[in-house]
Amino acid sequence: MKQEYVIGIDLGGTKILTALADLEGNILAEVRKPTEADKGKNSVIAKIKDTIYEVLGQTEVAIEEVEGIGLGSPGPLNIEEGIIYHTPNLNLDNVNIIEELKDVGPPIFLENDANAAALGEKYFGAGKDAQDLIYVTVSTGIGGGIIIGGEVYHGASDGAGEIGHLTLLPNSDQKCGCGNYGCWEAVASGTALSRLGREAVKNGEDTLLADLVDDATEVNGAVIAKAAKKGDQVASEIVEQIAEYLGIGFASLINIFNPEKIIIGGGVSKSWPLLQDTVLANVEQRAMEALTAEVEIVTSQLEDKIGVKGAIATALVGLKELS
Ligand SMILES: [Zn+2]
């Protein structure tokens, strides 16, 4: 019997991670290459192709046995047509990636990386038994993927799920990458966490943070978490602040979408034990009781495989829709 496989490609600003998987999503081989986006569009596309052929080369699998290729990319995108519109991190502007990869052979399915991550959780992670879930990644920014009735909610032009840009503090002077002020990601992401830590050190506050940093280490989320665990008051207050803002955002998501699960990923989720109590207290205080009773807030179990697992899930979903 002919074996059937899929390939998942996690296309990121720093690396391309490509994996060959069976139709259950078990990864059989993987290849990682630096994106080197500064070398330009053609170089990035050639590298994507290289990872595909190299991952096949690690196994006995022929490209003819690959049923589909899922590609998770930063947006904005047109997923039907395969267009990546504008991604400063990738140096790809208005590139039709499906067209560019057509000569590889199998059908290509494009998905926004955060949506793909949500699919990865739904198929292989903490969201396996859920039909309605939201994946929230909290790292340098805050991104999200919304799954309604088992399917990604794309919106009118594939732009849905930009949850990091809900205005959390209307009078904030924190400018967001999107141009607005006081966005959720501008005040509650890992970047915001580090900023608050750096400000505390700069203002000469009485904190361990100043001792934990040296020329090689700057104030980052891990340093702040370490200080908070040691009982540092300033670090604990910073963590509390971020947790409160995260809780406020989650409460809104719960009220709007009534999800069964919110799954948190990204670097900041590693500090979930520190954040949890305040996040949940804010959710309880601010979201509607009947809705909070339904929702479970958990952390991702897919860790650094979330992107590629999401791309594999994207291929499987695409194939299901084709058949
Ligand atoms: Zn924003």
The pLDDT tens digits for 235-245 are 999 999 999 99
CA distance 61 to 120: 23
**How many A from CA of 208 to the centre of ligand 1?**
31
Domain boundaries, the chain: 5-121+305-322, 129-300
Structure confidence at residue 249 (pLDDT)? 98
Q: Provide CB contacts within 8 A for 23, sequence distance 6+.
A: 4, 5, 6, 67, 316
pLDDT in tens, 44-83: 999 999 999 999 999 989 999 999 999 999 989 999 999 9
**How many A from CA of 141 to the centre of ligand 1?**
9
| Measured distance between the N- and C-terminal CA atoms of the chain, rounded to whole angstroms | 19
Structure confidence at residue 295 (pLDDT)? 97
**How many A from CA of 171 to the centre of ligand 1?**
14
pLDDT in tens, 264-323: 999 999 999 999 999 999 999 999 999 999 899 999 989 899 999 999 999 999 999 998
Give the residue from 256, 259, 269 showing the smallest Cα distance to 293.
259
Domain 5-121+305-322 part of CATH 3.30.499.10: no
CA distance 275 to 298: 12
Multiple choice CATH, 129-300, 3.40.50.10490, 3.40.640.10, 3.40.50.11030, 3.30.420.40? 3.30.420.40
**How many A from CA of 54 to the centre of ligand 1?**
38
Structure confidence at residue 151 (pLDDT)? 97
**Amino acid at residue number 1:** M
**Is residue 2 predicted with pLDDT exceeding 70?**
no
* CB-facing half-sphere around the CA of 164: CA atoms within 13 A: 28
**How many A from CA of 222 to the centre of ligand 1?**
24
Enter the DSSP assignment of 76. -
**How many A from CA of 320 to the centre of ligand 1?**
34
**How many A from CA of 162 to the centre of ligand 1?**
9
Q: Are 185 and 155 in contact (CB under 8 A)?
A: no
Structure confidence at residue 284 (pLDDT)? 97
Section 147-158 average pLDDT: 97
Q: Are 16 and 51 in contact (CB under 8 A)?
A: yes
Mean pLDDT of the chain: 95
**How many A from CA of 322 to the centre of ligand 1?**
35
pLDDT in tens, 190-233: 999 999 999 999 999 999 998 888 777 789 999 999 999 999 99
pLDDT in tens, 178-192: 999 999 999 999 999
**How many A from CA of 260 to the centre of ligand 1?**
26
* Helix orientation angle between 233-257 and 272-286, rounded to the nearest 10 degrees: 50
CA distance 182 to 173: 7
